[in-house]
Homo-oligomer: A and B are copies of this chain.
């Protein structure tokens, strides 16, 4: 009970976490058409409790998104004994983790509701997903990129530009196609292959031993 999971500064009880997990599975199943009644039924709780805990439907959705985001933390890339090998494996691991999360049903469902609510929204789900999705990825990857540059393994001027290129090489059209409902089979093998390919392409563009064609000063 003392293990309070601080989301922004809300401490969630175990019961509430169960409710949010139920909301997550419903979000995956039914998308944005989930109703307060369906959540209450699935979680075996009363609607009164839902409104008491989360305020309104928007608050429930927001809490659900944040709850999921709080679970994805971690995956640190810590630099020790750094070299081209560890840079490469770091990038590959990052890319494959990312593709795995991105293509997961939960991520697809959450991005769908966030896109649907973007902008016109009290709590602005879009901003929350943006913050815990692309922006969090950037914050996590950039230290590795800077380390690569500082050790002379990478050449670029703008860290953000380098990150965004890596983003493009990794994600390509996968996310938009999944969001638009394209049936997509992303096997474990395909993920690993894509992660290696993206990493090699990135190194070809920004690696020290090649002429950097990417950062057109």
Shortest Cβ distance from A126 into B: residue: B181
CB of A31 closer than 8 Å to a CB of B: yes
Chain A residues within CB distance 8 Å of chain B: 30-33, 111-112, 114-116, 118-120, 124, 126-127, 129-130, 133-134, 164-165, 167-173, 175-177, 179-182, 193, 196-197, 200-201, 203-205, 210-211, 213-214, 216
Assess the A181–B216 pair: CB atoms within 8 A: no
Assess the A193–B216 pair: CB atoms within 8 A: yes
Shortest Cβ distance from A137 into B: residue: B173
Assess the A165–B172 pair: CB atoms within 8 A: yes
**A197-B214, A201-B165 given; A181·B127 CB < 8 A:** yes
**A193-B216, A204-B213, A216-B196 given; A172·B180 CB < 8 A:** no
Quick one: which of B112, B171, B196, B200 contacts A115, CB cutoff 8 A? B112
Cross-chain pairs A/B with CB under 8 angstroms, 24 sampled = A31-B116, A112-B115, A115-B115, A115-B116, A116-B116, A118-B179, A118-B180, A118-B181, A126-B181, A127-B180, A130-B181, A134-B177, A164-B173, A165-B169, A165-B201, A167-B168, A168-B168, A168-B172, A171-B173, A171-B176, A197-B216, A200-B216, A201-B214, A203-B213
Q: How far is the CA of A115 from the CA of B114 in the complex (A)?
A: 10
Shortest Cβ distance from A212 into B: residue: B204
Shortest Cβ distance from A102 into B: residue: B176
Q: How far is the CA of A179 from the CA of B118 in the complex (A)?
A: 7
9 closest A-B pairs by CB: A118-B181, A126-B181, A204-B213, A168-B168, A168-B172, A116-B116, A126-B180, A119-B181, A130-B180
**Cβ contacts under 8 Å, A169 to chain B:** 165, 168-169
Q: How far is the CA of A168 from the CA of B177 in the complex (A)?
A: 13
Quick one: which of B129, B170, B193, B210 contacts A180, CB cutoff 8 A? B129
Q: How far is the CA of A33 from the CA of B114 in the complex (A)?
A: 15
**A116-B115, A124-B181, A216-B196 given; A172·B176 CB < 8 A:** no
Which of the listed residues A118, A164, A173, A204 has the most CB atoms from chain B within 10 Å of its own CB?
A173
